[in-house]
């Protein structure tokens, strides 16, 4: 055999290797400060909302006592605005002394005692997005500091730096995290900044160096924002789906469920579509005041099971017609080479009554050589679902609430042969 060929094959295998820190084998789940708490630092006026030890400890308690940890939400992360404006005499980052009076290691230890893992934020540039010290000229000391504090998750943002430096800089910081010897989940913001400049991200490099990455703009607390993000991912989700898998995921940004901007139905849409996309589920809301019905969406075991499906295949938008988009993800169980599927029908029509949709299995690319048991994972009295699985008539008739979702799990039952025998 030609030795050159062997060499080429070996290179292909090694160059496409994924980050091997043993983390994020299913999409990460947890809670993050940013969307809800932003850069609130005035603890005198807003003691319950400022970025502080108090907020993190209180949230960790709620995550442990209200079933979030048990459901799988096991990271708790601080985003921007936690640091002092000056590094210390050893060039180390310092937690803000008023808001984190016991330092960051204390917070990490507390969080760990609640069965949670601890996340922190840094920025690859000279400053963070909110103007706190950036990591650019301190990559090594910052990685070491995070390791010393007991950090389990680092989000590296990309403000105040030339996008051209990111292709080298993000992998370099990832290497320094690895060098600390402490496994830290690495969340990269680099493609979101490239996307703004029309640069196609290098997905092979992302897979090799990051556990998850932000592809697009920050989420805001509104349906418009969720729609725009779904549109961005939907437009290219077939391509994106090929680049996600155990240890490396696309991140359409935080769950805003439980805040001010989404209705009950819209909240279900975000949860369902994020699960189909195999997206990280990072809650950003006040867990002390969230209404029970929104909490139930976040804790929905069936949807979380789809998000964490062991096949690790991300789903995609199959089609969009008459203001209904359909999203699909292959899931276990698998029979021969055929898989079960999760299907989400989203009605984008903002006004009017529930909307009717009529789809064949063929146009949704669902295999008709099996019949399926069908489960409605988000039952609603105002929605309807009919699934026909007779010979040469495999289709769905659905009625979906305005800006709502119908989420189905289709579990492979028997082969069509067995089915025919029964008829
Ligand atoms: C560092 O990288 C090596 C090689 O990929 C891997 O085996 C190891 O688990 C990593 N260690 C940490 C702490 O991430
Ligand atoms: C998605 O694609 C449509 C049709 O090509 C385009 O009009 C829209 O701007 C795209 N949206 C996003 C957010 O990429
Ligand atoms: C859906 O399509 C099928 C096949 O064309 C048709 O028989 C059925 O009447 C349609 N249903 C509705 C409610 O339009």
- How far is CA 219 from each of CA 141, 161, 224, 402, 411, rounded to the nearest angstrom? 31, 21, 10, 21, 33
Phi, psi of 46, rounded to the nearest 5 degrees: -125, 65
Q: What is the pLDDT of residue 352?
A: 86
Q: Ligand 3 centroid vs 358 CA: distance in angstroms?
A: 6
DSSP string, 224-289: HHHHHHHHHHHHHHHHHHTT-BTTBEEE---B-TTSSS--HHHHHHHHHHHHHTT--EEE-S-TTT
Give pLDDT, residue 1.
Answer: 37
Q: How far apart are CA 129 and CA 108, in angstroms?
A: 23
CA distance 273 to 299: 15
Short-list 157, 147, 146, 166, CA closest to 123 = 157
Contact between residue 49 and residue 287 where contact means Cβ atoms under 8 Å apart: no
Mutate to test the pocket of ligand 2, among 226, 235, 321 (most ligand atoms within 8 A of CB): 235
**Rounded to 10 degrees, what is the CA torsion of 275, 295, 217, 226?**
80
Of 112, 113, 130, the closest CA to residue 121 belongs to: 130
Domain CATH number, residue 28: 3.20.20.70
Half-sphere exposure of 418 (CA within 13 A, CB side): 7
* Residue 278 CB burial class (10 angstroms; 0-12, 13-18, ≥19): buried
Distance CA 51, CA 78 (A): 8
Query: Do 412 and 340 touch, CB atoms closer than 8 A?
Result: yes
pLDDT at 380: 96
Residues 67 and 167 in one domain: yes
Ligand 3 within 6 A of 70 CB?
no
Q: Please give the mean pLDDT across all residues of the chain.
A: 94
Catalytically active residues are 157, 218
Residues 183 and 63 in one domain: yes
Predicted pLDDT at 415: 57
CA 43 and chain centroid, separation: 30
Residues with CB under 6 A from ligand 2: 228, 231-232, 235
Q: Do residue 261 and residue 231 come from a single domain?
A: yes
CA-closest residue to ligand 2 atom 14: 232
Q: Say how many Å lie between the CA of residue 143 and the centre of ligand 1.
A: 14
pLDDT at 185: 98
pLDDT grade, residue 420 (50/70/90)? very low
β-pairing, 75-77 vs 316-321, is unpaired
For ligand 1, mutation pick of 23, 171, 178, 211 (most atoms within 8 Å of CB): 178
User: How many other CB atoms are found less than 10 A from the CB of residue 404?
Assistant: 26
Do 330 and 274 have their domain in common? Answer: no
Cα–Cα distance, 285 to 32 (Å, whole number): 8
Nearest atom, ligand 3, residue 393 CA: 4
> Residue 92 belongs to what domain range?
3-307
Residue 273 in tokens: 């579509």
Structure pTM? Answer: 0.94
Identify whether residues 251 and 124 lie together within a single domain. yes
Phi, psi of 121 (to 5 degrees): -120, 140
Does one domain contain both 288 and 326?
no
Asked if pLDDT for residue 280 goes beyond 70, the answer is yes
**Per-residue model confidence as pLDDT tens digits over 189-243:** 999 999 999 999 999 999 999 999 999 999 999 999 999 999 999 999 999 999 9
Q: Which of 252, 278, 307 is the last residue of a domain?
A: 307
Q: Dihedrals φ, ψ of 183, to 5°? A: -65, 120
CA of 161 to the centre of ligand 3 (A): 55
Residues 135, 13 within the same domain: yes
**Residue predicted with more confidence, 7 or 73:** 73
* Dist. CA 344–CA 408, nearest whole Å: 6
| CA dist., res. 233 & res. 214, Å (int) | 11
CA of 273 to the centre of ligand 2 (A): 17
321-372: pLDDT as tens digits: 999 999 999 999 999 889 999 999 999 999 889 999 999 999 999 999 999 9
| CA distances in angstroms from 227 to 20, 53, 65, 190, 307, listed in the order given | 34, 34, 33, 22, 20
Same domain, 271 and 372: no
Domain check: are 223 and 361 in the same one? no
Q: Could you read off the pLDDT of 110-139 as tens digits, one per residue?
A: 999 999 999 999 999 999 999 999 999 999
CA distances from 110 to 33, 53, 103, 105, 118 (A): 17, 10, 11, 9, 9
User: Are 251 and 337 in the same domain?
Assistant: no
Residue-level pLDDT at 16: 56
Instruction: Out of 21, 185, 247, give the residue to mutate to test ligand 1, the one with the largest number of ligand atoms within 8 Å of its CB.
Output: 21
Closest alpha carbon to 84 in 13, 145, 18, 5: 145
Nearest C-alpha to atom 11 of ligand 3 is from which residue? Answer: 358
Picking from 280, 307, 334, the residue at the C-terminal end of a domain is 307
Q: Is the pLDDT of residue 11 over 70?
A: no
Query: Cβ of 21: how many Cβ atoms within 10 Å?
Result: 16
**Total domain count, the chain:** 2
358 in contact with ligand 3, CB cutoff 6 A: yes
- How far, CA to CA in Å, does 379 sit from each of 48, 309, 315, 385? 35, 21, 21, 10
Tell whether 396 and 297 lie within a shared domain. no
What are 147-167's pLDDT values in tens digits?
Answer: 999 999 999 999 999 999 999
- Is any atom of ligand 3 closer than 6 Å to the C-beta of 390? no
Ligand 2 center from residue 230 Cα (angstroms):
10
Higher pLDDT, 51 or 417: 51
Residues 332 and 294 in one domain: no
Q: DSSP characters for 119-144?
A: EEEEESSSB-TTSSBPSGGGHHHHHH
Least confident of 8-12, 59-63, 278-282, 305-309: 8-12
The C-alpha atoms of residue 343 and residue 315 are separated, in whole angstroms, by 9
Nearest residue by C-alpha to atom 6 in ligand 3: 358
CATH number at residue 380: 2.60.40.1180
Among residues 257, 272, 307, which one ends one of the domains? Answer: 307
């Amino acid at each position: 055999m030609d030795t050159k060929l062997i060499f080429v094959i070996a290179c292909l295998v090694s160059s496409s290797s994924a980050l091997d820190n043993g983390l994020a084998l299913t999409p990460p789940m947890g809670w993050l400060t940013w969307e809800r708490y932003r850069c609130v630092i005035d603890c005198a006026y807003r003691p319950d909302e400022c970025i502080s030890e108090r907020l993190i400890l209180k949230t960790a308690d709620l995550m442990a006592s209200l079933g979030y940890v048990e459901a799988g939400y096991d990271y708790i992360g601080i985003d921007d605005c936690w640091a002092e404006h000056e590094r210390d005499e050893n060039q180390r980052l310092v937690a803000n002394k008023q808001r984190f009076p016991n330092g960051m290691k204390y917070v990490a230890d507390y969080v760990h005692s609640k069965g949670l893992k601890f996340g922190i934020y840094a920025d690859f540039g000279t400053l963070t997005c909110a103007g706190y010290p950036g990591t650019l000229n301190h990559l090594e000391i910052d990685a070491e500091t995070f390791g010393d504090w007991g950090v389990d998750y680092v989000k590296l943002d990309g403000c105040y730096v030339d996008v051209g430096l990111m292709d080298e800089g993000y992998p370099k910081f990832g290497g320094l995290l690895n060098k600390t010897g402490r496994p830290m989940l690495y969340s990269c913001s680099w493609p979101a900044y490239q996307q703004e400049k029309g640069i196609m991200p290098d997905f092979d490099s992302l897979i090799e160096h990051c556990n998850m990455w932000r592809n697009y703009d920050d989420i805001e607390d509104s349906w418009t924002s969720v729609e725009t993000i779904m549109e961005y991912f939907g437009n290219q989700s077939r391509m994106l789906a090929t680049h996600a898998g155990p240890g490396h995921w696309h991140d359409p940004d935080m769950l805003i469920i439980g805040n001010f901007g989404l209705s009950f139905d819209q909240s279900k849409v975000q949860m369902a579509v994020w699960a189909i996309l195999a997206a990280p589920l990072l809650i950003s809301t006040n867990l002390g005041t969230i209404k029970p019905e929104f909490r139930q969406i976040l804790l929905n075991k069936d949807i979380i099971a789809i998000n964490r499906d062991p096949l690790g295949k991300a789903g995609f938008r199959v089609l969009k017609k008459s203001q209904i988009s359909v999203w699909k993800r292959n899931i276990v169980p698998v029979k021969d080479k055929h898989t079960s599927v999760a299907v989400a029908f989203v009605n984008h029509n903002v006004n009017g009554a529930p909307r009717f949709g009529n789809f064949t299995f063929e146009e949704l690319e669902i295999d008709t050589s099996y019949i399926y048991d069908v489960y409605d994972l988000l039952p609603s009295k105002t929605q309807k679902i009919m699934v026909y699985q007779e010979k040469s008539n495999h289709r769905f008739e659905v009625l979906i609430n305005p800006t709502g979702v119908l989420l189905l799990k289709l579990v492979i039952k028997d082969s069509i042969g067995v089915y025919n025998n029964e008829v």
